[in-house]
Amino acid sequence: MNRKGDTMSGRIVSVFRNLLRKNTVEQALDDELEASVELLTEEKMNDGLSHPQARREALIELGGVEQVKEEVRSIRAGHLLEDFAKDLRYAFRTLAKSPGFTAVAVLTLALGIGANTALFSVVNGVLLNPLRYAEPDRLMALYSRFPNYDRGSISYPNFLDWVHENRSFSALAAYRPDDLTLTGRGEPERVSAEMVSASFFPLLGVQPVLGRTLLPEEDQIGARPVVLIGGGLWKRKFGSSPDVLEQSLTLNDVVYTIVGVIPADFRYTGINFQQSDVYTPIGQWNDPTFRNRRAGMGTFAVGRLKPGVTYEQAKSDLEALGRHLAEQYPDVDKDTGITLVPLKQAVVGDIRPTLLVLMAAVGFVLLIACVNVANLSLARSTGRTHEFAIRLALGAGQGRMVRQLLTESLLLALAGGGLGLLLASWGLQAALKALPQALPRAEEVQLDGRVLLFTLAASVLAGVFFGLAPALKTSRTDLQETLKEGGRGLSGVRHRAQRVFVVAEMALALVLLAGAGLMIRSLAKLWRIDPGFDPHNVLTFLISFPSRTASPEVVRATWRQLHDSLNAVPGVQAASLDASSIPMASESDLPFWLEGQPKPSSQAEMKITLFYIVEPDYLNAMKIPLERGRFLSPHDDEHSPPVVVIDESFARIHFGGQDPIGKHVNFAILDVTAEIVGVVGHVKQFGLDEGQAPGLEAQCYFPIVQFPDQFIPLLARRVAVVARTAGSPLAQIESIRHALGQINSQSVMYQTKAMDGIVADSLATRRFSMVLLGTFAALALIMSCVGIYGVISYLASQRTHEIGIRMALGAERWNVLRMVLGEGTKLALVGVAIGLVAAFGLTRLMANMLFGVSAHDPLSFAGVAGLLILVALAACYIPARRAMKVNPIVALHCE
Amino acid sequence: MGEKRTDLLRGTLDLLILKALSLEPLHGVGISRRITQITKGAFQVSFGSLFPSLHRMEEKGWVEAEWRSSENNRRAKYYRLTSSGRAQLKVEEREWNQVVKIMTAAVESA
């Protein structure tokens, strides 16, 4: 054992020496020439010359050391190159001679390398590549920090104070989405819109394709209405005409002047930001709520650090600024602050650990592929032992043999890499199309130079990895033994290596299966979670109203008309307007305090509740269970006292054991005190795996028509609808659209989605991980079973002779079956045992991807272990049956 | 044409080196001196041709090199003929003799 270990390590050393050969050659050449110079010098000194003179003459006679070296080098290099070309030709020929082996090896490697390439391009696009803005490292996202939530929206007056008082940023820009309907240019069209600060585009370094961006003086109340249009709208409405500048655009009855065009490929990923058709100056909006320091209104900000200012400096600057504002406006800003996050981190979010786990998993797949191909070439090299022995006998150096076999492996690996690249680009497109919401920056995922380099490196490494072991083993061939054996090949050592490979494959596959199993169990648990409402057969959409100014009476009348005509559409069972939060899609929250308790002195001390502004039919449309009291009724209108319905979380958190019904809630910002009339079930607002926003558990429902007059303009531009339909919700879209057209030809219906689709999207990232891990595990399962099948078939075929004798001596067929199956079972069990230990250690790393399942879930572990053993046995059964059917007479004649 | 001539010369040089080494192992300078000696001073081999030839012959396995102390106790790289080098010497000698015979006959026939 020991001796064998020594020769093995000795061989590895000699291979490294070969790799380092170039430097050794150089050094030896230097030494040789220096020695020659000295010899010549000595000779000349014997002739009576002084040392310096002798040395000079010696150098002259040598004819320039560098030229000599160059000559020698070119001979050596030419030699290496010639060898390589020979090896390559030889490799092509031998591979072409065994097309089956070549095809399986290339395909296996293509799957392994392809999966790695695909995933690396995701990691590259999402995590590694810098954001596509000028000097992206200096860009920061800013949020308001509240006691219960540190990434809240920013009130505009606070934002303006940040702009004036900070010392760290060369520019800050605020943005929020807007709802605008474009009229006067063909059919009315709801356009996507963002309000942005004048500094927004310059700060990101985005140049307009035409015209200019917004000016600071246009970012003020009362300035001339100007608008930037997106490249999409420019093409759609203006045919990309260059004379679009200074043309007018009517949005919600306001006439804007176009001053610039933003590139169509402009992207910015931030909360509440979308690539838009139009960008208007945020500072022109004079809405009183927007100008109220209490209200965030979905506004967020981005800033560019001054050159030389670090993140930490900016952070402490903003901390001081926040404290100052808290002192200045204690009733609003007390206990609040500013959260600063590097923009890239804000965009990429918490996808990083997930991607790293997936990257590790896909690395395992490549490892299995390599082991599999190593195994195949080992089995194949057994058949070639004779060839190698003859070549060694004819004087081929062992290093030469290793080099030649490695050339063969590299050729296979590069072919696999090329095919893998194709598979990767095809698979990536499919995956991203299937689950576009799963990844931030998904549009930036592509096969760029770095990915190609990665693929090349992975291929070469894989080639060396799976080529080295068989190459070393083969070159160690004992000449005499082999030639004497008559070409039947070596047994012992090589068979042990194959067994070790199979065990390793089984272990790796088990780790991947365990990961996939845990992911599947997590999703199964998530799907079984009751979202608190029935998402099936519910349609949601938004309706925009172009009206700019409308009295509260007119708006309420429009809502009632809308409600009636929606509910009159055949196939619609219950429809309700929803003017704020929509489960798993959007949320609004409000601070409140309970009547009878002391009024909090600052907003930060108030409680927070999610807020749904709905109609009485909402309960039936969503099928939310009523637990106590009553839901909203048609009698709760603008003339009757305000009422509110709370959810069970609200009741539990704020009333404990008390009966909440009849109690009053004071919504400070709205200046409304409403009586609690009922309690309903809790809705999983933040997705089935809710828990992302602790402190926002309480929910309440407020009748839309009771919303205070002064805030009605905020809701007047658009409203969401949830409608329970008799059949498939998407089938009702046209009839609903038709009914809407009858009431108001200017209003537009958009973002039409089935509710169960929204629920599914809330799990997109987990599903993405599950699909990938599942695919990797399936690949691993198939590859490792092909591996065990190959080895058991090979071992059984080597024993045909022995089996023949056994059967001739009276062994039963089932004895043979048991013998071969037993061999496979033993390997599978050892592999599974090692795999279980490894999985136990490794699945901890994916704990944050799991839901409701321990990273060491015994059921998942046992399940995948059983699955792997079963499949491995099935793979072994085929060769076992073949062995069982061996005809003793034929088997013995074979020799 | 030029290439042919170099080939002829290189072939000649190889033969001379093999011949020089056939008696005993020598270092590079020694080979050069030995060639001058056995050609009675007619050939002065430049080191710029000698060393590349030696290294090529080493790659081909005709000669082997090892570091040894010289007669004056200096370390030097000594070249030694291998068995395939000796075989090559035989081949080259035979070929050379044939060339000489053919060329002589050709020149004298005129």
With an 8 Å Cβ cutoff, are A75 and B55 in contact? yes
From the list A29, A39, A76, the residue facing B74 with the nearest CB is: A39
With an 8 Å Cβ cutoff, are A76 and B59 in contact? yes
Reply yes or no on whether the pLDDT at A489 is more than 50: no
Helix (H) or strand (E) holding A301: strand A300-305
Identify the closest residue of chain B to A25 by CA–CA distance: B55
Q: Determine if the pTM surpasses 0.90.
A: no
Q: What is the pLDDT of residue A626?
A: 95
With an 8 Å Cβ cutoff, are B27 and A35 in contact? yes
What is the distance between the alpha carbons of residues A214 and A280, in angstroms, rounded to a whole number? 8
Least confident of A561-565, A587-591, A673-677: A587-591
With an 8 Å Cβ cutoff, are A28 and B75 in contact? no
Chain B residues touching A32 at Cβ < 8 A: 28, 51, 77
Chain B residues touching A67 at Cβ < 8 A: 48
ipTM, 2 decimals? Answer: 0.83
From the list B28, B46, B55, the residue facing A36 with the nearest CB is: B28
From the list B48, B56, B67, the residue facing A68 with the nearest CB is: B48
Distance to chain A for B29, nearest Cα, Å: 6
Q: What is the pLDDT of residue A700?
A: 95
Chain A residues touching B59 at Cβ < 8 A: 75-76, 79
What is the distance between the alpha carbons of residues A78 and B79, in angstroms, rounded to a whole number? 22
Amino acid (1-letter code) at residue B68: R
Per-residue H/E/C for A184-226:
CCCCCEEEEEEEECCCHHHHHCCCCCEECCCCHHHCCCCCCCE
With an 8 Å Cβ cutoff, are A71 and B48 in contact? yes
Distance to chain A for B4, nearest Cα, Å: 19
pLDDT tens digits, one per residue of A610-661: 999 999 999 999 999 999 999 999 999 999 999 999 999 999 999 988 899 9
pLDDT tens digits, one per residue of A61-118: 887 777 777 777 777 666 667 777 788 888 888 888 888 888 888 999 999 999 999 9
With an 8 Å Cβ cutoff, are B27 and A39 in contact? yes
Amino acid (1-letter code) at residue A108: T
Query: Which whole number is the average pLDDT over A166-187?
Result: 90
pLDDT tens digits, one per residue of A559-585: 999 999 999 999 899 999 998 888 887
Reply yes or no on whether the pLDDT at A873 is more than 70: yes
Distance to chain A for B105, nearest Cα, Å: 36
For A811, counting Cβ atoms within 10 Å of its Cβ (0-12 exposed, 13-18 middle, 19+ buried), the class is: middle
Between β-strands A254-262 and A226-230, what pairing exists: parallel, antiparallel or unpaired? parallel
The tokens of A49 are what? 């010359």
What is the distance between the alpha carbons of residues A121 and A4, in angstroms, rounded to a whole number? 42
What is the distance between the alpha carbons of residues A251 and A189, in angstroms, rounded to a whole number? 10
With an 8 Å Cβ cutoff, are B52 and A64 in contact? no
Chain A residues touching B56 at Cβ < 8 A: 75, 79
Chain A residues touching B55 at Cβ < 8 A: 29, 72, 75-76
Least confident of A13-17, A414-418, A549-553, A816-820: A13-17
Chain A residues touching B73 at Cβ < 8 A: none
Q: What is the pLDDT of residue B5?
A: 36
With an 8 Å Cβ cutoff, are B48 and A38 in contact? no
Chain A residues touching B70 at Cβ < 8 A: 39
pLDDT tens digits, one per residue of A298-307: 899 999 999 9
With an 8 Å Cβ cutoff, are A40 and B29 in contact? yes
With an 8 Å Cβ cutoff, are A67 and B77 in contact? no
Reply yes or no on whether the pLDDT at A714 is more than 90: no
Query: Which whole number is the average pLDDT over B36-49?
Result: 83
Reply yes or no on whether the pLDDT at A464 is more than 80: yes
Q: What is the pLDDT of residue A490?
A: 45
Q: What is the pLDDT of residue A480?
A: 57
Chain B residues touching A35 at Cβ < 8 A: 27, 74-77
Q: What is the pLDDT of residue A802?
A: 81
Indicate the pLDDT class of residue A396, thresholds 50, 70 and 90.
low
Contacting residues for A188 by C-beta, under 8 A, at least 6 apart: A181, A182, A546, A745, A746, A747, A748
- What is the count of residue pairs from A and B with beta carbons less than 8 Å apart? 56
Identify the closest residue of chain A to B73 by CA–CA distance: A39
With an 8 Å Cβ cutoff, are B47 and A68 in contact? yes
- Select the residue from B13, B47, B50 to test the A interface by mutation, using most A Cβ atoms within 10 A: B47
Q: What is the pLDDT of residue A30?
A: 82
With an 8 Å Cβ cutoff, are B27 and A36 in contact? yes
From the list B27, B51, B77, the residue facing A72 with the nearest CB is: B51
Distance to chain A for B16, nearest Cα, Å: 19
With an 8 Å Cβ cutoff, are B61 and A395 in contact? yes
Indicate the pLDDT class of residue B8, thresholds 50, 70 and 90.
very low
Q: What is the pLDDT of residue A661?
A: 94
Q: What is the pLDDT of residue B9?
A: 56
In degrees rounded to 5, what are phi and psi of residue A335?
65, 15
Distance to chain A for B34, nearest Cα, Å: 14
Q: What is the pLDDT of residue A186?
A: 81
Q: Where are the beta strands (DSSP E) in A115-200?
A: 139-146, 149-152, 169-183, 189-196
Mean pLDDT of chain A: 85
For A616, counting Cβ atoms within 10 Å of its Cβ (0-12 exposed, 13-18 middle, 19+ buried), the class is: buried
The tokens of B25 are what? 């192992």
With an 8 Å Cβ cutoff, are A36 and B76 in contact? yes
Least confident of A19-23, A35-39, A420-424, A880-884: A19-23
Distance to chain B for A36, nearest Cα, Å: 6
